[in-house]
Every structure is written in structure tokens, then in C-alpha cells.
Amino acid sequence: MDATRPTNGKALLNCAIDPATHGREFCLARLRDMLRIRRMEERCAQLYGESKIRGFLHLYIGEEAVAAGVLPNLTPEDNVVATYREHGHALLRGVSMNAIMAEMYGKQEGCSRGRGGSMHLFDRATRFYGGNAIVGGGLPLAVGLALADTMLPRPGAVTVCFFGEGAVAEGAFHESMNLASLWRLPVLFVCENNLYAMGTALSRSEAQIDLTKKLAGYDIATGHVNGMNVLAVHDAARQALARVREKRAPFFLELHTYRFRAHSMFDPELYRDEAEIERWKAHGPIHSFTDRLKAAGQMTEADFQHLDAEAMAEVEAAVAFAEAGTWEAVSDLARDVTAA
């Protein structure tokens, strides 16, 4: 299939979702990735209740298979751009949990020196270019990064841009898709379709809810896959990235997923009922993968407990690191302020 030709949302992807085809070590590593995100964020929710973490906090709980499936396919040379729901992406890209937790607290030891908080995790060393509070705000940034890579050139480097389905309503989405296609930029656009943009269901705001169809207008190849299945996501992203690298052209990958928690910590969730949440939880990415691994004889309950205990110990160490961190001196407040 030619990556420059739209597929109108037909699943391109030949996913080898049988754990046996991936091997035990690989599968346990993906489970570990998801558990690290889950345990870190559950602790963040608790810390928010204790006012240790303040401001906004958007949890990724329920969507972990997306970051855990896509990110292992990248090389250190690739760029990553994400949204305000980005704690898991930063973690799996290689930002330490200590630096993330300290940033959540607003401490100087945080990855953005305590000035960004939950929505603005950033780490140049791992080419993690944020954390962006603006819906669709990461898309032009990703296009710019890929344009820079094309012009420098940095052959082989690709940019992966994660964004929610709410971004398709933004002008920046359409401008970004147009330019990425016109200039043949190596960007993998990963749409995390969790069905809601805050309290607005996709079907209440978009005439065309098959998002991949929108890409036909930009001549961008597309695919979609179950975003609750980490192996399906991994294989889909691997194939999509191979096309982006080979053709030096963008690709739009839509992943169907669901957030189990509220949009942020201030959301009474009046727009969806408990039964819907429970239906999705039945397909939760961690327990469904755990069940499949056990059924395939790849993992025991003891293996699971071991991974889980490791993740929780890492979280507690990160909390201790953040607690011991330092506040920026008030006299430093104007540092880095460049506006007149």
C-alpha cells in the first residue's frame, strides 16, 4: 500500500496480538510500562486530594496501552509531542519518575524546574517536547519539529504527536495535516480517541465521527486499531512508523480508547453513566493483558505481583524525592521572563 494514498480508515494493520508471537520478556516489559503509569497516577490522584499536587491534573488511567504500545517503537533520535494528559508518555519516553513527581509538586528538581506542573512536562534530553495545555497545540509544534529534521537534515528521525480526538475540531489540526502532507513531513499523528472532549461526546460535536475519513482531504494515509490492547497498538505503530520512516510522509493512526477517570480533578462527569464506564473497564488494558498472558502460559500471578510491587516501590521513592525537593526562591521568579 502506498503511504501517500488515503485508506479511508480501513485498518491497515496486521496485528500479531497473540502474546506468544511477542515473547515473554517483551510482554512483561509492556505490562510493566502500563503498571508504572497506573501506579504513578493513582498516587498522584491521592496527592492531589492532600493538596500536595495542585493546579490541573488530567489522568491517563484506562489509556495506558496507547503510550505503552507506541513508544517502545521509537529511537532516541525521534521526537515526542503530547498533550496535558502526558504523564505516562513522559515516563515511558525515559523521563525519570522522580523528575516527573517533583514537577507535579512544583519543585525545582522537576523536569521543567517546577515551572510547568502536570500539563507541561518537558525534557530535552529525551526529546520529549511537552506537555501542552492547548487543545491541538502540539500539532503545529510536531510539524515544525519534522520540518526542522527535514531541513537540517536529520534523516531517519521521526516525530510522534499524541493528541485527543477533541483536537480535530481545531483549525490548527487542519492546518497541520495540510502542511505535513504538502511538505511530506515524517510525523506519526497518534489520535487518542477516548470519545469525549471534556464533557462533549464526539458524536455531539462532529458530523463525521470516523476520524480517519477526515484525512482523505489531506491525502494522508490512515489506520485505526483497538487502543485498549497494548500488542495491537504496538504492532500498528510499528507498521505505521516504518511507513513514515521509509516514505518520509505523515501517517494518521487512530486508537480507540477510554479514560476511566474524570476529565480532570474538577469534573463531576454528568455526561456519561456508570454503566458505560464499567463496560469499558471490562476491557481495561492492564487486566485484560494480564489475563491473556496468564492464559497463554507466559506469566504467573507471582510475576504480576512482582512487577506491581516494583512499580509501587518506584512511586514511593519518587514521592520521597519530590517531598525532599526544594522550592524556587521568590527572588528568582522573573528569571526566564522575556516579555517586556
Positions in the binding site for ligand TPP (CB under 6 A)? 83, 85, 133-135, 164-167, 192, 194, 196-198, 263
Binding-site size, Mg ion (CB under 5 A): 5
Smaller CB separation from ligand TPP, 208 or 326: 208
Smaller CB separation from ligand TPP, 121 or 157: 121
Smaller CB separation from Mg ion, 149 or 192: 192
Smaller CB separation from ligand TPP, 15 or 68: 68
Angle subtended by helix axes 24-49 and 230-247, to nearest 10: 100
Q: Cα–Cα distance between 13 and 138 in angstroms, integer?
A: 25
- Angstrom distances, CA of residue 43 to CA of 58, 239, 289, 312: 13, 34, 22, 9
Angle at 34 between CA 31 and CA 40, to 5 degrees: 135
226 binds Mg ion (CB under 5 A): no
111 binds, among Mg ion, ligand TPP, none (CB under 5 to 8 A by kind): none
Smaller CB separation from Mg ion, 268 or 301: 268
Smaller CB separation from Mg ion, 176 or 194: 194
Compute the least distance from the CB of residue 38 to ligand TPP, in Å. 16
Q: Of 125, 263, 20, nearest to 111 (Cα)?
A: 125
Compute the least distance from the CB of residue 32 to ligand TPP, in Å. 24
Compute the least distance from the CB of residue 8 to ligand TPP, in Å. 22
CB 45 within 8 A of CB 100: no
What lies within 8 Å, CB to CB, of 210 at 6+ separation is 9
Q: Of 132, 129, 227, nearest to 170 (Cα)?
A: 132
Q: What is the DSSP letter of 123?
A: B
Q: Of 249, 123, 126, nearest to 188 (Cα)?
A: 249
Of 194, 257, 290, 298, the residue at the interface with Mg ion (CB under 5 A) is: 194
**x/- binding map, residues 161-190, to Mg ion, per CB under 5 A?**
---xxx------------------------
Compute the least distance from the CB of residue 326 to Mg ion, in Å. 36
Compute the least distance from the CB of residue 120 to ligand TPP, in Å. 12
CB 327 within 8 A of CB 103: no
85 binds, among Mg ion, ligand TPP, none (CB under 5 to 8 A by kind): ligand TPP
Find the part of the chain contacting Mg ion (CB under 5 A) among 69-77, 107-115, 160-168, 296-304: 160-168
Smaller CB separation from ligand TPP, 64 or 192: 192
Angle at 100 between CA 51 and CA 145, to 5 degrees: 130
298 binds, among ligand TPP, Mg ion, none (CB under 5 to 8 A by kind): none
Compute the least distance from the CB of residue 338 to ligand TPP, in Å. 23
Smaller CB separation from ligand TPP, 83 or 239: 83
Label residues 270-301 b or e (16+ Cβ within 10 Å = b): eeeeeeebeebeeebbbebbbebbeeeebbee
CB 120 within 8 A of CB 83: no
Interface residues toward Mg ion, by CB under 5 A:
164-166, 194, 197
